[in-house]
Amino acid sequence: MAFALLVDPVPATRPAGTFGPTRRVDASAKEVSLLDLGVLRGDGCFETLAVVDRAAQEVDDHLDRLASSARLLELPDPNLDQWRAVVREAASLAPDTGEHTLKLVYTRGVEGADRPTGWAHLGPTPDHTRARRDGVSTVLLDRGYPRDIESDAPWLLVGAKTLSYATNMAALREARRRGADDAVFTSRDGWVLEGATSNVVIRRGGVYQTPPPESGLLHGTTQRAMFRVLADRGARTEYRDLRVSELMNADAAWLVSSLRYAAPIRAVDESPLAVDAEITSLVNESLAARRL
């Protein structure tokens, strides 16, 4: 079960209900122009949402981030009512049960046309049971930047989820070459940033901690959901900058992302970390149960 919905993005000011229908096509249909700046220059942004039993998760947070990425890229503001309708339509077409992946793509469009391109596609989510339960091994990889780069040099687009993602993919290959499952990016000045495609959450002294989004990383929708789950159970959560040594010496740590949820980090550069199976499964069951 996989398909795509082609979207004709309308200005943010256009009122709900006045934009045209999507067009449903095969997921791998050739529908992108050879001159689309999304492919020629990675010039666009995306979001990846989990759809569980036909319910799209964290829709508002994902759409807010899409809008924020577009702003950093100076793309026209996406019409969030339109995208919300697209998400609703795609989710409604998903199978009744199971985990699916919904990707939203919003690019600068065909060179010279001055009109963004958009589409959504939905397909099955790979089985993440094992990573969620047994955890993932990680290596630390230098992101090259100091932690405060985002305010210093906004043109580096550190806070935007752009289609220029080749480095994230190269980091995953490097991790696998070193025999690990995933990568944790560190700043040039020794701070923990984020995973290659996830956020880092650690627990120390009973407090769940993650680096603040303004510290050169993407604010995670699932990290936020995990913090809400934990706070609801009375746990303390906190945004603070984390030294690499604090990750290495954490009582427990996770890589958190939309599709894999909370995957315990069981090793950092071959140094083992304890897996808290109880909290992990509690968090992941709560994340899977979200129906809003």
Site for a copy of itself in 35-64 (CB under 8 A): 35-44, 46
Answer yes or no whether residue 161 interacts with a copy of itself by CB under 8 A: no
The Cα-based distances of 158 to 170, 217, 239 in angstroms read: 17, 6, 18
Answer yes or no whether residue 165 interacts with a copy of itself by CB under 8 A: yes
Nearer to a copy of itself, 36 or 58 (CB): 36
The three-class DSSP label of residue 124 is strand
Answer yes or no whether residue 127 interacts with a copy of itself by CB under 8 A: no
Answer yes or no whether residue 168 interacts with a copy of itself by CB under 8 A: yes
The count of residues interacting with a copy of itself (CB under 8 A) is 58
Measured distance CA(248)–CA(272) in Å, rounded = 8
**DSSP letter, residue 159:** T
AA letter at 206: G
Q: How far is the CB of 33 from a copy of itself (least distance, A)?
A: 5
Q: Which residue's entry shows tokens 């919905």?
A: 5
Answer yes or no whether residue 93 interacts with a copy of itself by CB under 8 A: no
If we measure between CA atoms, which residue out of 220, 64, 71 comes closest to residue 157? 71
Q: Is the dihedral of CA 92, 93, 99, 102 positive or negative?
A: negative
**Which of 7, 51, 136, 141 is in the footprint of a copy of itself by CB under 8 A?**
141
Answer yes or no whether residue 151 interacts with a copy of itself by CB under 8 A: no
Nearer to a copy of itself, 211 or 264 (CB): 211
Answer yes or no whether residue 103 interacts with a copy of itself by CB under 8 A: yes
Answer yes or no whether residue 86 interacts with a copy of itself by CB under 8 A: no
Which range, of 91-99, 143-151, 204-212, 270-278, touches a copy of itself by CB under 8 A?
Answer: 143-151
Q: How far is the CB of 40 from a copy of itself (least distance, A)?
A: 7
Neighbouring C-alpha atoms within 13 Å toward the C-beta of 46: 20
The three-class DSSP label of residue 172 is helix
Nearer to a copy of itself, 33 or 68 (CB): 33
Q: What is the pattern of x (binds a copy of itself, CB under 8 A) and - over residues 14-33?
A: -----------x-xxxxxxx
Residue pair 208/283 in contact (Cβ under 8 Å)? The answer is: no
Rg (CA), the chain: 19
The three-class DSSP label of residue 91 is helix
The burial of 160, by beta-carbon neighbours within 10 Å (0-12 exposed, 13-18 middle, 19 or more buried), is given as buried
Instruction: Give the binding site for a copy of itself (CB under 8 A).
Output: 4, 25, 27-44, 46, 72-74, 103, 105, 107, 110, 119, 121, 141-146, 149, 152-157, 160, 162-171, 173-174, 183, 188
